[in-house]
Structure 1
Amino acid sequence: MNRSANGLAALLIAVCSTPSLADDPGSAETDAHWQFALAPYLWLPSVSGTLRFTLPRGGADASTGPYNYLQNLRFALMLQGEARKGDWSIFGDTIYLNFGRHEGSVNAFNGALGSGETQRSVETSLSGGLVEVGGGRTVLRQPWGNVDAIVGMRYLGIKATLDVLYSASVEGGPSVNPNVHASEVQNIFNGFAGVRGRLLLSGDGRWYVPYYLDVGTGSSRFTWQALAGVGYAARWGDVSLTYRYLAFYGSGDQLVQTLRFSGPSANITFRF
């Protein structure tokens, strides 16, 4: 549960990008009609955290660190969308990531890897997806921008593997032990509430700062997500560069103990 968790982190991702889809607060003439937006995007987060694996004689916590996308990422899919009518909106976001094997470190407990063990090599792999759906209502419109109140549900499904080759020190001297392999899956469902919108940087509303913040709980003890950046609104849609942060905090013997994703995101939004 090392840098592989990073991959998961990327997974997690989902609703954070959604804020960039917030409608132009000055478009009052479109309030009576449905507007739709579709946004493929690229998010390159750094992932860190701790995964807890259950082993025959105990358990092991694998720590994650910075993940190398170019070396370890096998597949990625990121897409978000929104439907809006006046002050009301429905939005969704989906992400799927698959990371290959990656070196890591592990701390065993309850004698899971024997006594006095010293890891020779630790590898983890991780894949998963994140889906978020929600709804919102514009509660404030001003010349400087708008604020939407939002609620929704975030799902994170991950599969992680742990492979350890270690040598154990025993009374008779050091002896080589066979590999330890563990593979686990966790499905996480969390409700959330927060705000999103944009702050206008120019009088014509073309340049703006998209922002997003939510907090939630459910399968996770606590989860939160934040986003901010800069965007430009054209007639056909928007282009924005943002920085996103998404975190999950578990408890007990859950596979995901902590998982944090943070990094830049490039978004293109098509409106119709």
Structure 2
Amino acid sequence: MHISKRLFPALALAFPAAPAHAADIVTPVTPETMQIEANGWTFAFSPYFWAAGLSGDVSQFGIPGTVHLSPDFGDILNNLDFAVMAIGEARYDRYSFFGDVIYTKLSIDSGTPRGILADSVDLTSQTFAGLFGAGYSVFQDGNSHLDVVGGVRVWDVRTEVSFDGGVLDGRVFSDGKTWVDAMVGLRARYDFNDNFYLTGWGMIGAGGAKVDWDVAAGLGYQFNETWSAVVGYRALGVDYDRDGFVFDAVQHGPIMGLVVRF
């Protein structure tokens, strides 16, 4: 079964498209969150938004070679069916436990030029990337701190192509992979004064992928105890190449937000 490489620009949308600050969460891609303290523990949870584009190479369905893709955030948004992006953290003294989850589902409908093999082709892409880890603060000074962190990132990338009309009417083909990468790195926050702060993180790892990395930085402003805002930039990359399935891509874009704390 041969699937035209013309379908592969749609695979760019398989990569997750996704601003941010919390007093105890140092990752720049999370907004201010409501926190609850219990017996010395602090808990926080937050959804976030990331206006990211994509560049990279993919290959699926056994097609030889790779196809280069470079959709911007607008291309991804136009085909977005559903997305969930959120982070949570539990913190006790110098110890922290956190999770960062990104899930996207995108669909593309395309007519075929001659309608012999099919009148139309539908492509659905689903991507899950979940980072789960723990950290230890090697430096603490009020809200400013530097954490050494480690964890795992779980990837699941799925693509399904279905045909309507023509010789291939009703046929459905799917391809996908799941893998896990070990990650290590640093997370930090530095307060310039009572209002302005700098926050960021950097992590790198490997496992199922040849390399998996994630960096971000943001400048935040605390208006008062209720309102805060942050602007920044995040880039996340992964290079997976096994059994003819290639997913070598970098997602990058600005992070921003105006958030209320309850």
TM over 0.5: yes
The offset of 1:251, in angstroms, is: 2.6
Q: How many residues align?
A: 228
Point out the structure with max Rg over C-alpha. Answer: 1
The offset of 1:231, in angstroms, is: 1.7
Letter in 1 for 2:104: L
The offset of 1:267, in angstroms, is: 5.2
Aligned to 1:259: 249
How high is the TM-score relative to the length of structure 2? 0.73
**Percent identity (aligned):** 24
Aligned to 1:215: 204
Q: Secondary structure at the match of 1:262?
A: strand
CA contact (8 A) 1:213 1:226 kept: yes
Q: Secondary structure at the match of 2:49?
A: strand
CA RMSD of aligned residues (A): 3.5
Q: Map Cα deviations across residues 225-271 of structure 1 (whole Å, 9 max, x no partner).
A: 00001123453585433311111112343523302111122357777
Aligned to 1:19: 27
CA contact (8 A) 2:26 2:199 kept: no
How high is the TM-score relative to the length of structure 1? 0.70
Residue 183 (structure 2) pairs with residue 192 (structure 1): yes
Letter in 2 for 1:199: Y
Letter in 1 for 2:225: R
Alpha-carbon separation, structure 1, partners of 2:109 and 2:192: 43
CA contact (8 A) 2:183 2:203 kept: yes
Question: Which has a greater percent of strand?
Answer: 1
Query: Relative to structure 2, which stretch is displaced further, 213-222 or 153-162?
Result: 153-162
| Alignment CA distance shift 1:93-1:102 (3 Å) | farther
* Match among 42, 46, 55 for residue 35 of structure 1: 42
| Alignment CA distance shift 1:44-1:102 (3 Å) | farther
CA contact (8 A) 2:107 2:122 kept: no
CA contact (8 A) 1:2 1:124 kept: no
Letter in 2 for 1:59: P
Alignment of 1:57-76 (within 5 A): 59-67=64-72, 68-76=75-83
Q: Return the structure number with greater relative CO, CA threshold 8 A, min gap 6.
A: 1
